[in-house]
Chains A and B, each alone.
Chain A
């Protein structure tokens, strides 16, 4: 008996967003990275177009991260003290994008200055030709001050600047407008809030093809299915033709997976949990692959081995 595979006819399409500008486009990146463009749900190749694979970004920090798991620090080795070297190592580990995470303070004490932020951005831009994502420290005043400076320093590079939230997006968007960058818009796992923030940002005059949305993700075992469901609904709405949900999605899976007990703690846990490092890598890998299946276009990861495994997974899903 032949099984007829039902094919849905969608009217909508995810907007294509290109990160990074080459010399031709007024930047210095060796190539741009495009995401979006889907006309079907994840990996239903028989149903519609999936022009670009999900992209892996590797997260690096402007200084040796104080709160990262020793497993991660060990995996990267000495480069964590040098953002430029780290960016290169990340590129070698298979990153297609680099996320540079800015810190609030230096050595947990003096505040990171505008000059610091500009300098580290420049170092990373010089070290790698990959498109760059830059996140502020996550505190309103510092985010606005540092990201405006970074935007200016990297004018024309089509950075992805983050994180815009409903309470604080105007300054970051204005900086992106002034210097030809993109922004990422984060909302707390809610379809309507995501739509609303996209509307507010595009109302300021930033074209939709310069916005990536971050619907907020959670790690395996910590509400991942809730995030999954919201992303799935956002994508279905996008394919149904709801314009304000047609943006590519970004998820910070590395951050989420590595702050949970299962990946963080090596001692005093049940033996049945198995070997620590393998467990931690699995935690990040599974969180990543699951959210990729719900429609993530950019996954921001931390461990090189998890990156390798996610890459294998993506290649297979893309039919390579």
Chain B
């Protein structure tokens, strides 16, 4: 906590409360304690006072209670030589300031001095003041009708939040630029205060910017005290939409912290009163971003992220006022944690998942990247927040126009992602999405990933204007739309320049290699959390998949990292974290947490589940398994049948018949549905002897996973193991199987008996 800020806020609040007391005393003397006090068209009295204290102010006399409470919240200035944490004092002072400010506005209404007159100003929609007969005026408090209308948009997310601009901008041009930037992002703009007598309201008025409800720009008043109105709006939001009652001050503040995405832009010099009011806003979780040099409060706590940020206008690196405004607003929404929403993918061709499977033939091809004649790769990496400029898409190197029809070219798609919830582990999960995102564009074909990416642009797409930069537009829009929970900002480099391409390729390969090693190191023992997948309960109501680093989901589509990311993106979704809890049996893989979760999520059907055994409480299956593993008792081993294999098996059943036994959420010892990459895991039925138990396997698997199995065989210390495993081309019955196993000396024959 900054001592400087604390001192100034405390001083500001002491002064304002004293001022309010004097004003009120005078008003009561002049007009009497029974004189009515009311904000127009609201059922919430003086809303901050009502929300915080459950105190209904109807008359001047009622304000005495408010100020008496405010006084209790005042503190002496910090001493010069004793340094203590000042946070509590500062927040108290902020709240005292708000109560005093609202009391002052109440007194002004009693005198008919509110709303502030502003001759010549015509608002496009405002709180109505029939007594003013059309004289130009500022808005004063927002009425309840407008509160509900905007409130619905704030709650449903169409409006990301509101910004309170306090003071005067660096120049008229800057004021307009900031407001336009906020409007562009659909952020509600509230205006109050002045700097040395000049208000941002004056600036916008001079520049002919239309203000009022209809333009989402509301001028409240030209002094700092009018900043109470935005906070009154926030308080009423919590009462109206949060189902909260007056007096639940803590809940009201917490509601605002987590649901009302508001922030303060302090424009121009910050005086004591502004510090005091900003302290009041901080209680609501609203941070302040100043365009001058002030001390910052960076640790998170009362606000979700930083509390006070200084961004001196002249030091913002930019060519124009517009760019400066854009950077300041961008910083503000980051500090407040406002999310950008993008619904359309801005490309000149049709876009949708219906185009994902499209093939672009050579004859129809405008250009190709990757494949035989060039090299393309894609790389997504996490970067610090301040190194990513959201929405920046650069094409570095020659463009599509330099390429002959049907020609090919080196290409790199490099995406740098920043996000408060982003983790390095999510890089590969996000990078794999390129394939789906890019394929969604009609006339574009995307195959492969990493450095075997292969992209084609069709002639038809190129004729419609599809260019290299559109890859960036697609990725930008889709990552924000689909992964907004973990992606706050992203910038994209589309690289065709040969030198830079080579440089980034080297970096990307280093990262691929690092990820491979990370995956290898990622063992069940190394983590304390597994993830569930209950996506398939719609048709297998009691099935619960437990996904661990060494046992991916049986459908093959979800590994542990995918589930982890999925949980971050959709915390109420089908992938929930399971704390492993106490390990009850290391060998078979019984964990207290897993048992508990399986029982709960299977509605009591599955009481216990092992992670590494097929013989005892094996994991259930839905029906989506890539392979079925089944015990062949005569051979003292197991067979593995793949979904692609239509032939008979030594169990006397084909895959489709076996699927009926393995699936449906049933726990049947001796049979299990698995993802094919689980076969290569050291934890594959490790309690029952592991990979060496496999005596028969569909030839499809042997062929498509030859490389992986070769490594497993070496790991198992038997390099010829794969050849010792029978398949459907060798035998489809037990007699044949036993004869083959004898002839090759399969290790299962001499292993411990499975039963």
Binding site for B on A (CB under 8 A): 144, 148, 152, 170-171, 173-175, 177-179, 189-193, 196, 199-200, 203-207, 233, 236-237, 240
For residue B538, which residue of chain A has the nearest CB?
Answer: A190
Q: Quick one: which of A178, A191, A200 has the most chain B CB within 10 A? A: A178
Q: Decide if B158 is an interface residue (CB 8 Å cutoff).
A: yes
Set of chain B residues within 8 Å of A196, measured between Cβ atoms: 572-573
Q: Decide if B152 is an interface residue (CB 8 Å cutoff).
A: yes
What would be 15 A-B contacts, judged by CB atoms less than 8 Å apart? A152-B148, A170-B157, A171-B158, A178-B152, A179-B148, A191-B538, A196-B572, A196-B573, A204-B155, A205-B155, A205-B242, A205-B243, A205-B255, A207-B243, A237-B603
* Interface class of chain A by DSSP: helix
Bound together, the chains give a CA A29 to CA B386 distance in angstroms of 57
Contact A177 B603 (CB under 8 A): no
Set of chain A residues within 8 Å of B255, measured between Cβ atoms: 205
Set of chain B residues within 8 Å of A206, measured between Cβ atoms: 243
The contact of B156 among A174, A179, A233, by CB within 8 Å, is: A174
Binding site for A on B (CB under 8 A): 148, 151-153, 155-158, 240-243, 255, 259, 534-535, 537-538, 541, 572-574, 603-604
Contact A178 B241 (CB under 8 A): yes
Bound together, the chains give a CA A177 to CA B255 distance in angstroms of 14
Contact B152 A175 (CB under 8 A): yes
Set of chain A residues within 8 Å of B155, measured between Cβ atoms: 170, 173-174, 177-178, 204-205
Bound together, the chains give a CA A288 to CA B649 distance in angstroms of 47
Set of chain A residues within 8 Å of B157, measured between Cβ atoms: 170
Bound together, the chains give a CA A199 to CA B255 distance in angstroms of 17
Contact B603 A233 (CB under 8 A): yes
Bound together, the chains give a CA A190 to CA B604 distance in angstroms of 18
Q: What's the nearest-Cβ distance from chain B to residue A25, in Å?
A: 16
For residue B537, which residue of chain A has the nearest CB?
Answer: A192
Across the A-B interface, give the 6 residue pairs with the lowest CB-CB distance, nearest first: A170-B156, A174-B155, A190-B538, A171-B156, A174-B152, A178-B148
Bound together, the chains give a CA A178 to CA B241 distance in angstroms of 6
Q: Assuming the A-B contacts A171-B158, A178-B240, A237-B603, are A192 and B574 also in contact, with contact meaning beta carbons closer than 8 angstroms in the complex?
A: yes
Contact B572 A240 (CB under 8 A): no
Other than the given A148-B152, A171-B158, A190-B537, 11 more pairs (CB < 8 A) read A144-B156, A152-B148, A171-B152, A174-B155, A177-B155, A178-B151, A178-B152, A192-B538, A192-B574, A199-B572, A200-B572
Set of chain A residues within 8 Å of B574, measured between Cβ atoms: 192
Contact B538 A189 (CB under 8 A): yes
Bound together, the chains give a CA A170 to CA B157 distance in angstroms of 8
Q: What's the nearest-Cβ distance from chain B to residue A78, in Å?
A: 38
Bound together, the chains give a CA A55 to CA B152 distance in angstroms of 31
Bound together, the chains give a CA A175 to CA B152 distance in angstroms of 6
* Interface class of chain B by DSSP: helix
Q: What's the nearest-Cβ distance from chain B to residue A57, in Å?
A: 26
For residue A244, which residue of chain B has the nearest CB?
Answer: B572
Set of chain A residues within 8 Å of B153, measured between Cβ atoms: 174
The contact of B604 among A144, A177, A240, by CB within 8 Å, is: A240
Bound together, the chains give a CA A144 to CA B538 distance in angstroms of 29
Set of chain A residues within 8 Å of B535, measured between Cβ atoms: 192
Contact B541 A233 (CB under 8 A): yes
Q: Assuming the A-B contacts A196-B573, A240-B604, are A177 and B240 also in contact, with contact meaning beta carbons closer than 8 angstroms in the complex?
A: yes
Contact B537 A240 (CB under 8 A): no
For residue B600, which residue of chain A has the nearest CB?
Answer: A242
Q: Assuming the A-B contacts A177-B241, A178-B241, are A236 and B603 also in contact, with contact meaning beta carbons closer than 8 angstroms in the complex?
A: yes
Bound together, the chains give a CA A178 to CA B146 distance in angstroms of 11
Contact B537 A191 (CB under 8 A): yes
Bound together, the chains give a CA A173 to CA B604 distance in angstroms of 33
Set of chain A residues within 8 Å of B259, measured between Cβ atoms: 205
Bound together, the chains give a CA A295 to CA B155 distance in angstroms of 33
Bound together, the chains give a CA A203 to CA B534 distance in angstroms of 21
For residue B242, which residue of chain A has the nearest CB?
Answer: A205
For residue A193, which residue of chain B has the nearest CB?
Answer: B538
Q: What's the nearest-Cβ distance from chain A to residue B578, in Å?
A: 16
For residue B535, which residue of chain A has the nearest CB?
Answer: A192
Bound together, the chains give a CA A189 to CA B538 distance in angstroms of 7
Q: Quick one: which of B152, B535, B538 has the most chain A CB within 10 A? A: B152
For residue A168, which residue of chain B has the nearest CB?
Answer: B156
Q: What's the nearest-Cβ distance from chain B to residue A165, in Å?
A: 14
Bound together, the chains give a CA A189 to CA B148 distance in angstroms of 34
Bound together, the chains give a CA A191 to CA B241 distance in angstroms of 28
Q: What's the nearest-Cβ distance from chain B to residue A264, in Å?
A: 29
Bound together, the chains give a CA A287 to CA B64 distance in angstroms of 65
Q: What's the nearest-Cβ distance from chain B to residue A238, in Å?
A: 11
Bound together, the chains give a CA A174 to CA B242 distance in angstroms of 10
Contact B541 A177 (CB under 8 A): no
Bound together, the chains give a CA A202 to CA B546 distance in angstroms of 27
Set of chain B residues within 8 Å of A174, measured between Cβ atoms: 151-153, 155-156, 241
Set of chain A residues within 8 Å of B572, measured between Cβ atoms: 196, 199-200, 203
Contact B541 A191 (CB under 8 A): yes
Q: Quick one: which of A177, A203, A233 has the most chain B CB within 10 A? A: A177
Q: What's the nearest-Cβ distance from chain B to residue A106, in Å?
A: 25
Set of chain B residues within 8 Å of A200, measured between Cβ atoms: 572
For residue A170, which residue of chain B has the nearest CB?
Answer: B156
Q: What's the nearest-Cβ distance from chain B to residue A253, in Å?
A: 21
Set of chain B residues within 8 Å of A177, measured between Cβ atoms: 155, 240-243
